[in-house]
């Protein structure tokens, strides 16, 4: 499926990096983290960061590295942040969300490639609510190793780590009957059902 934002910018790498910053607006990102979340090479990430910094859309900072014992060390690392106060940042973020909607069909096809899906629900990242406990709720007979690869392969398209909960179909049915907290925290809030072969949702 074509990514309009990449086509509009004429630069798929910048589109991925801007999207990564927009969906992680409150986070400080290292280059290594940005490389992972945007799915680009380090050299490309650094080049695009310089360009975005020149436009004052991102700014560079430093923070103390955390030692193994959890305490801050004297060593510092470079981090980058989205500048939400820049005059065009809010409009650009809204534009990113508007023209780069979650590609639901692509997600559905990808997950189905990892096994037999009886229920697939989008939450969290996919509906703009990062307080939810999972971005994907999946029920079915799935190859867990293949599913992990599929989900990690989707992450660069959406700019951040995708959290998912995997249940067997019987477990899914049972948890619904006992008002399981995880399911309620997904289904009682904005969500989108992509697959429901159980007929429950």
How many whole angstroms separate alpha carbon 190 and alpha carbon 74?
Answer: 43
Last residue of some domain: 99, 115, 142?
A: 99
- For 28-69, the pLDDT digits (tens) are 999 999 998 888 999 999 999 999 999 999 999 998 887 777
How far CA 74 is from CA of 33, 77, 155, in Å, comes to: 21, 10, 32
Mean pLDDT of the chain: 88
* Domain assignment of residue 146, yes or no: yes
pLDDT surpasses 90 at 96? no
The residue assigned the tokens 């280059």 is 31
The DSSP string of 51-82 is HHHHTTSEEEEEEEEEPTTS-EEEEEEEEEEE
pLDDT value of residue 10: 84
How many whole angstroms separate alpha carbon 93 and alpha carbon 28?
Answer: 17
Same domain, 109 and 89: no
> Which pTM value belongs to this model?
0.65
Selected residue with higher pLDDT from 70 and 106: 106
Its domain, for residue 81, covers 4-99
pLDDT value of residue 94: 82
Tokens representing residue 109 in the block = 């096809």
Q: What is the CATH classification number for the domain harbouring 159?
A: 3.30.460
Residue 78 backbone zone (phi > 0: left; psi -120 to 50: alpha; other: beta) = beta
How many whole angstroms separate alpha carbon 83 and alpha carbon 129?
Answer: 20
- For 121-139, the pLDDT digits (tens) are 999 888 878 789 999 999 9
- For 163-179, the pLDDT digits (tens) are 999 999 999 999 999 99
DSSP alpha helices (H): ranges in 55-195?
A: 89-99, 104-112, 144-158, 169-177, 181-187
Q: What is the CATH classification number for the domain harbouring 57?
A: 1.10.10.10
pLDDT surpasses 70 at 2? no
Same domain, 79 and 61: yes
pLDDT surpasses 70 at 191? yes
Nearest to 138 by CA among 156, 158, 161, 162: 162
pLDDT value of residue 159: 75
pLDDT surpasses 80 at 1? no
Same domain, 108 and 81: no
């Amino acid at each position: 499926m074509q990514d309009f934002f990449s086509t509009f910018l004429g630069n798929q790498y910048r589109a991925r990096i801007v999207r990564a910053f927009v969906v992680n607006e409150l986070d400080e990102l290292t280059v290594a983290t940005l490389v992972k979340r945007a799915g680009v090479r380090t050299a490309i990430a650094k080049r695009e960061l310089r360009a975005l910094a020149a436009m004052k859309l991102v700014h560079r900072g430093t923070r103390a590295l955390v030692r193994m014992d959890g305490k801050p060390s004297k060593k510092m690392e470079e981090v980058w942040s989205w500048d939400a106060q820049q005059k065009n940042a809010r409009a650009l973020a809204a534009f990113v969300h508007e023209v780069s909607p979650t590609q639901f069909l692509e997600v559905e096809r990808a997950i189905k490639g990892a096994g037999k899906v009886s229920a697939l629900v989008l939450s969290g990242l996919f509906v703009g609510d990062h307080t939810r406990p999972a971005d994907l709720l999946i029920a079915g007979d799935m190859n867990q190793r293949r599913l992990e690869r599929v989900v990690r392969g989707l992450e660069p398209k959406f700019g951040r780590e995708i959290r998912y909960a995997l249940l067997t179909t019987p477990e899914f049915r049972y948890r619904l009957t006992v008002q399981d907290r995880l399911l309620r925290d997904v289904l009682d809030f904005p969500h989108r059902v992509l697959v429901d072969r159980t007929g429950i949702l």
